[in-house]
Structure 1
Amino acid sequence: MALLEVERLQVTFRKHTLFGGRRVVRAVNDVSLHIAPGETLGLVGESGSGKSTTGRAILKLVPIESGTVRIEGQDIASVRGKALRTIRSQMQMVFQDPYSSLDPSSTIGASISEPLRVHRAMTRAQMRERVEELLELVGLRPSHADRYPYEFSGGQRQRVVIARALALNPRLIVCDEAVSALDVSTQNQVINLLEDIREKLSLSYLFIAHDLAVVRHISHRVAVMYLGHIVESGPTQRLYQSPAHPYTQALLSAIPVPNPRKRDQARRMVLQGSIPDPSNPPSGCPFHTRCPYAMDVCGQSMPQMTPIDGGGEVACHLQTSGPTLGGRCLDELTPPARQTEVLETTTARPDAVIKCVSTQPA
C-alpha cells in the first residue's frame, strides 16, 4: 500500500488584474503520483512548472480545487480543523531558505519545540530532552538549542529546519529545494544526512529540486513536470539512461559533465524560449510549442500516459502516433548523428525548437 497517493490533483489561482479583469492560472493540472513507505520521489522541472505548488497542495498549504490526496488511505482534501491538524502531524515540509523559515527572534530550541507544544502534551523538561535528541540526530550539539538562527551557517540552519520537521515523527517530508541555497560541499552533507535519516526512521520524501544530479543521487523514482503536468515518471536509473519524453531528454542534457575528457564529447539540447503563460496554455500537449518532434496531433489533443519499457509512464504522442516508439527510449527515434535531419523534417516552428549544440571544437 502506498503511503501517499495523489490522483488528478488540480490547483487554480484566480487573480484580479489592474483594469478589472480576471486572470486564472491552473498551476497544477491533473497530477497523479504515489510514494511508497521508505521511498524518495524526485520531482523536477523548470521554474514555473508547478513543482512547489504540488508540494504545498499535498500538505494543503494552498487550496485544492479538485482531486484526491491520501496519506495512508485517508483523504486530506476534504478534512478541516482538528482532523486536518492530526493528519498534518504525519507530513512536514523543509523549505528552500532556512533563514526565512525560522523565527529570528526565537532560539532554535524554541523553534524546534513549537510542533511539540501544538501537537503533544509534554512538560518543559520533556520538550527540552526531545529537542536535544533531534539536534544530535541532525549532527548538531545539544547546547545549540539556546542559540539564535543568525549564529549558524546556512547548512547548520537547514539542519535545524530538518530537526524541526522530524519533531513529530512524521511519515512523509516534502523537501522543497532543500539544498539549492547551499554550496556544493554542504549540499552533499545535507543529502547524506537526509538519506541516513530516511533509512533510520523509515521516512518517505517528496524531493523537489532543479539539480538533476542531486535528484539522481537521492531518489528511487523521478517525476518530470512541465506547465502543471507530469510528462514522464519512472525508476531513476531508467529515466536517466533512457528518457522517453523530449523535455526529459533536454533536461538531462543540461547536467554538467564532471569529466573534462568526456566533456568535449557531450551533446547538449538547448530549449529555446520559456514556459508558456499558464493563464493561457497552448492546446494539446503543453510542450509542443518547444518540441522539435512536434506533429499535428500534438497541438490538437493532450497525450495520455503510456507505459514505458523498464518501468514508468510518459505522456507523449511519439509513443502512440506518427513514429511510434511503443514505450522505448527517445534516442531510438533520433540518434544524435541524425538530430539535424530530424529537426528539418518536423513541423515545429524554427523559432521554437530544441537545438542540438555540439561542444566539439570546430
Structure 2
Amino acid sequence: MNTPMLQAEGLRVTFPGSRRGVGRGKRSVTAVDDVSLHIERGETLGLVGESGSGKSTTGRAVLKLVALETGAVQIDGQDLTHSRGAQLRRLRRQSQMVFQDPYSSLDPSTTVGASIAEPLRVHESMSKQQRRDRVVELLDLVGLRPSHADRYPYEFSGGQRQRVAIARALALNPRLIVCDEAVSALDVSTQNQVINLLEDLRERFELSYLFIAHDLAVVRHISHRVAVMYLGRIVETGPVERIYEQPAHPYTQALLSAIPAPDPKLRGTKRIFLSGDIPDPSAPPPGCPFHTRCAHAMDICSRERPAMTPIEGGGEAACHLQTSGPRLAGQPLSATKVPS
C-alpha cells in the first residue's frame, strides 16, 4: 500500500480571543476542529467553504505554519508534527505554499530573481552562478523569460507575479504544494492560464496539491477529490464528480447551487439561500454546527454532532440525514423527500 503524500489526523487549531467589554474574559476561537484529510501522490484535493470556515488555517496547519493544539501531520510518511532542527529543515524542502496575494508574498524591494533564489541560498550549497542558472530554469518552467529575474514585483501583472510565486515554491523540488486561494485575486482569463500551469506542473513532476478556494467552478476543474469545510470542520469529502453531481450534505448542496450558470434558464439546480450567517466560532452551536441554517434540521441535529458516514459513490458526510432512521443511508441528498 502506497504511503499518502499528506496524512493529517485530528487537527485542532485554537487562537486566543480578544476581550469583549468590561469585565469579560478572553474567548478563544477554534479555527480548525478535529480535521483529518489525506492526499495521494500526484493528487489534487480541493478544500472549499465560506470565508471564515477554516480553510486557510488548515493549509497553514499541515505545513506547521501555525501551532497545533492536537493532531498529527505526516508528509511522505515522515512525522512533521514533532520534527525539530535538521529533521524539520529536511521536511520543509518537501512542502511549499503559494499564497493568495502574489504582491504581498514577494518582497517589493527585492528582484524576483533574488526572491526565487532565496530558498536555494538557505537550503542548498550552490554557487552564485548555479543559483542564477536554477532561477532561469524555474522562470522558464512557469512561462517567464530569463530577463525577468532582474525586475521587481511592481513591474509585473498579477498573473506574472503569481507565476513568480509558483517558481519560488518549486525551487527545492517539493512534493506537496498548498495553494491558498492562489487564483482568486486574478481575472478569469489569467485564472485559466495559472490553473493550466499548475496542472501541467503536477503531471510533469508528480506533485500533490492542497488547493484551497472559494470558487467551486475552479475547484471542479483542477481537483480529483473535494473536502467541504464548515465552521472549522470537514462536513463532506468525496470524488469531485460525485460531490458536484450528487452532494450528500445540505451545506454542500447550498454551495453548489451558488455556482454561476452561463445561462440561468438552463441551470439544473435551484439556488438555495441559507438563512443567517456562519455562527460565532468562539461560541459554536451544539450538535451539528450547520443545524441553525439547515432546512433539513431535525431534533437530533441540535443535540448530537453527526459522525462521518460513508456515501455511495465514494467519500463521507457528517449529516444526521444519513444516520437518523436512516433516511438516506449513504445516498445523495437529492434522494430525500424532506423539502429544501
Fold agreement, TM-score > 0.5? yes
1:101-112 paired onto structure 2 within 5 Å: 101-112=105-116
Structure 2 equivalent of residue 184 of structure 1: 188
Structure 2 residues without counterparts, runs of 5 or longer: none
Which residue, out of 52, 57, 80, partners 1:53?
57
Aligned to 2:6: 4
Given candidates 70, 79, 94, the residue that maps to 2:98 is 94
* 2:314 is the alignment partner of 1:311: yes
- The equivalent of 2:70 in structure 1 is 66
Alpha-carbon shift at residue 267 of structure 1 (Å): 1.2
- The CA deviation string for residues 165-196 of structure 1, in whole angstroms up to 9 with x for no partner, is 00000000000000000000000000000000
Tell me what 2:153 maps to: 149
Q: Is the 8 A contact 1:3 1:36 kept in 2?
A: yes
Count how many residue pairs are aligned between Structure 1 and Structure 2: 336
CA distance in 1, matches of 2:78, 2:207: 18
Distance in 2 (alpha carbons) for counterparts of 1:73 and 1:176: 23
Q: 8 Å contact 1:7–1:32 — kept in the other structure?
A: yes
| CA deviation after TM superposition for structure 1 residue 324, in Å | 1.6
1:238 corresponds to which of 224, 237, 242: 242
The amino acid across from 1:13 in the alignment is F
1:39 equivalenced with 2:47 (yes/no): no
Measured against aligned partners, the alpha-carbon deviations of 1:29-86 in whole angstroms (never above 9, x if no partner) come to 0000000000000000000000000000011111011111000111111122332121
1:222-266 alpha-carbon deviations (Å, 9 max, x no partner): 000000100000000001000000000000000011135414x65
Q: Name the stretch that deviates more: 153-162 or 79-88.
A: 79-88
Amino acid at match of 2:310: P
Q: Which residue of 1 aligns with 2:259?
A: 255
Q: Who is 2:293 aligned against?
A: 290
Structure 2 residue 273 is the aligned partner of structure 1 residue 270 = yes
Per the TM alignment, residue 16 of structure 1 is displaced from its structure 2 partner at its CA by: 4.1
1:306 counterpart letter in structure 2: T
User: What's 2:284 paired with?
Assistant: 281
Could you give the per-residue CA deviations for residues 198-235 of structure 1, whole angstroms, max 9, x where no partner exists?
00010000000000000000000000000010000000
Asked if 1:213 is matched to 2:217, the reply is yes
Match of 2:33 in 1: 29
Deviations 1:81-111 (A, max 9, x none): 3321211110000000000000000000000
Counterpart amino acid of residue 216 in structure 1: R
Deviates more, 1:99-108 or 1:13-22: 13-22
Give secondary structure in 2 for the equivalent of 1:270: coil
Question: Of the candidates 320, 329, 333, which is equivalent to residue 336 of structure 2?
Answer: 333
Given residue 283 of structure 1, which amino acid in structure 2 is its aligned partner? P
For residues 269-294 of structure 1, the C-alpha deviation after alignment (integer angstroms, 9 at most, x for no partner) is 01121110010000011000000111
How far 1:322 moved relative to its partner?
3.8
User: d(CA) in 1 for partners of 2:294 and 2:18?
Assistant: 32
Distance 2:12 2:64 in 1: 12
AA matched with 1:44? V
- 1:321 alignment partner in structure 2: 324
Does structure 2 conserve the Cα–Cα contact (< 8 Å) formed by 1:5 and 1:71? yes
Q: Which is worse superposed, 9-18 or 155-164?
A: 9-18
What SS does the corresponding residue of 2:266 show, helix, strand or coil?
A: helix
Partner Cα separation in structure 2 for residue 211 and residue 8 of structure 1:
26
SS where residue 119 of structure 2 aligns? helix
172-181 or 6-15, which deviates more: 6-15
Partner of 1:120: 124
Query: Which is further off, 106-115 or 17-26?
Result: 17-26
Q: Give yes or no for the alignment of 1:222 onto 2:229.
A: no
Instruction: Give yes or no for contact 1:323–1:333 (8 Å, CA) kept in 2.
Output: no
SS across alignment from 2:36? strand
Query: What SS is found at the alignment partner of 2:273?
Result: strand
Give the ranges of 4+ consecutive aligned residues of structure 1 lying more than 4 Å apart after TM superposition: none
CA RMSD of aligned residues (A): 1.2
User: Does the CA contact (< 8 Å) of 1:232 and 1:244 recur in 2?
Assistant: yes
* Helix, strand or coil at the partner of 2:291: coil
Distance in 2, Cα, partners of 1:266 & 1:300:
31
3-state SS of 1:173 partner: strand
Normalising by structure 1, what TM-score?
0.91
Given the two structures, how large is their TM-score scaled by the length of structure 2? 0.97
